[in-house]
Protein backbone atom coordinates (compact mmCIF):
# COMPACT_ATOMS: atom_id res chain seq x y z
CA UNK A 1 0.00 0.00 0.00
CA UNK A 2 1.31 3.39 -0.98
CA UNK A 3 1.77 5.55 2.08
CA UNK A 4 1.44 9.27 1.64
CA UNK A 5 3.09 11.17 4.41
CA UNK A 6 3.23 14.86 5.12
CA UNK A 7 6.78 15.10 3.88
CA UNK A 8 6.13 14.06 0.31
CA UNK A 9 3.13 16.22 -0.41
CA UNK A 10 3.79 19.81 -1.37
CA UNK A 11 1.24 21.26 -3.68
CA UNK A 12 1.15 24.80 -5.00
CA UNK A 13 4.79 25.03 -3.97
CA UNK A 14 5.94 26.05 -7.41
CA UNK A 15 3.38 28.81 -7.49
CA UNK A 16 3.93 29.83 -3.92
CA UNK A 17 7.69 29.49 -3.73
CA UNK A 18 8.70 32.14 -1.27
CA UNK A 19 10.75 34.97 -2.58
CA UNK A 20 14.22 35.11 -1.21
CA UNK A 21 14.35 37.49 1.71
CA UNK A 22 16.52 40.38 0.82
CA UNK A 23 19.44 40.60 3.13
CA UNK A 24 20.80 43.74 1.61
CA UNK A 25 20.85 46.40 4.31
CA UNK A 26 19.88 49.07 1.80
CA UNK A 27 16.74 47.24 0.85
CA UNK A 28 15.19 47.44 4.29
CA UNK A 29 11.77 48.48 3.02
CA UNK A 30 11.55 45.54 0.64
CA UNK A 31 12.32 43.20 3.53
CA UNK A 32 9.54 44.72 5.64
CA UNK A 33 7.10 44.39 2.73
CA UNK A 34 8.21 40.81 2.23
CA UNK A 35 7.61 40.02 5.88
CA UNK A 36 4.20 41.67 5.79
CA UNK A 37 2.93 40.40 2.45
CA UNK A 38 5.22 37.43 1.90
CA UNK A 39 2.49 34.95 2.68
CA UNK A 40 0.35 36.11 -0.23
CA UNK A 41 0.34 33.95 -3.34
CA UNK A 42 1.94 35.31 -6.52
CA UNK A 43 0.19 37.57 -9.01
CA UNK A 44 -0.83 34.66 -11.24
CA UNK A 45 -3.25 33.46 -8.58
CA UNK A 46 -4.75 36.94 -8.35
CA UNK A 47 -5.25 36.99 -12.11
CA UNK A 48 -6.71 33.47 -12.02
CA UNK A 49 -9.17 34.45 -9.28
CA UNK A 50 -10.13 37.63 -11.08
CA UNK A 51 -10.64 35.63 -14.29
CA UNK A 52 -12.99 33.22 -12.53
CA UNK A 53 -14.92 36.11 -10.98
CA UNK A 54 -15.24 37.89 -14.34
CA UNK A 55 -16.40 34.65 -15.97
CA UNK A 56 -19.12 34.30 -13.33
CA UNK A 57 -20.22 37.90 -13.76
CA UNK A 58 -20.26 37.57 -17.55
CA UNK A 59 -22.43 34.45 -17.41
CA UNK A 60 -24.75 36.03 -14.87
CA UNK A 61 -25.26 39.07 -17.10
CA UNK A 62 -25.73 36.83 -20.13
CA UNK A 63 -28.29 34.77 -18.25
CA UNK A 64 -30.15 37.88 -17.12
CA UNK A 65 -30.13 39.33 -20.63
CA UNK A 66 -31.37 36.08 -22.18
CA UNK A 67 -34.15 35.92 -19.58
CA UNK A 68 -35.08 39.46 -20.44
CA UNK A 69 -35.20 39.07 -24.20
CA UNK A 70 -36.86 35.65 -24.18
CA UNK A 71 -39.69 36.68 -21.88
CA UNK A 72 -43.08 35.82 -23.36
CA UNK A 73 -45.57 38.68 -23.49
CA UNK A 74 -47.70 37.32 -20.60
CA UNK A 75 -44.61 37.16 -18.37
CA UNK A 76 -43.92 40.87 -18.63
CA UNK A 77 -44.87 42.85 -15.56
CA UNK A 78 -46.69 45.50 -17.49
CA UNK A 79 -48.91 42.96 -19.23
CA UNK A 80 -49.57 41.15 -15.95
CA UNK A 81 -50.67 44.44 -14.41
CA UNK A 82 -52.96 45.11 -17.37
CA UNK A 83 -54.40 41.64 -17.06
CA UNK A 84 -55.11 42.13 -13.37
CA UNK A 85 -56.79 45.44 -14.14
CA UNK A 86 -58.97 43.84 -16.83
CA UNK A 87 -59.92 41.03 -14.48
CA UNK A 88 -60.83 43.50 -11.77
CA UNK A 89 -62.94 45.54 -14.16
CA UNK A 90 -64.76 42.43 -15.34
CA UNK A 91 -65.42 41.40 -11.73
CA UNK A 92 -66.74 44.85 -10.87
CA UNK A 93 -69.03 44.82 -13.91
CA UNK A 94 -70.35 41.38 -12.94
CA UNK A 95 -71.07 42.57 -9.42
CA UNK A 96 -72.90 45.68 -10.62
CA UNK A 97 -75.04 43.58 -12.98
Taking CB under 8 A as the criterion, which residues in 29-68 touch other proteins? 39-41, 45-46, 48-57, 60-61, 64
Q: Does the footprint of other proteins cover residue 5 (CB under 8 A)?
A: yes
16 contacts other proteins (rule: CB under 8 A): yes
The beta strands (E) that lie in the chain are given as none
For residues 33 and 48, which CB has a smaller minimum distance to other proteins in the complex?
48
- Minimum distance from residue 76 beta carbon to other proteins (Å): 12
Is residue 78 at the binding interface for other proteins, with CB under 8 A as the rule? no
* Rounded CA separation 38/67 (Å): 45
| DSSP letters for 73-86 | GGGSHHHHHHHHHH
What is the 8-class DSSP label of residue 18? P
Amino acid sequence: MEILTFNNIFLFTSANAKKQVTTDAGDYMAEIMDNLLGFLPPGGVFIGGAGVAILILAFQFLNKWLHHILKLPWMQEENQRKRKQLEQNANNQQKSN
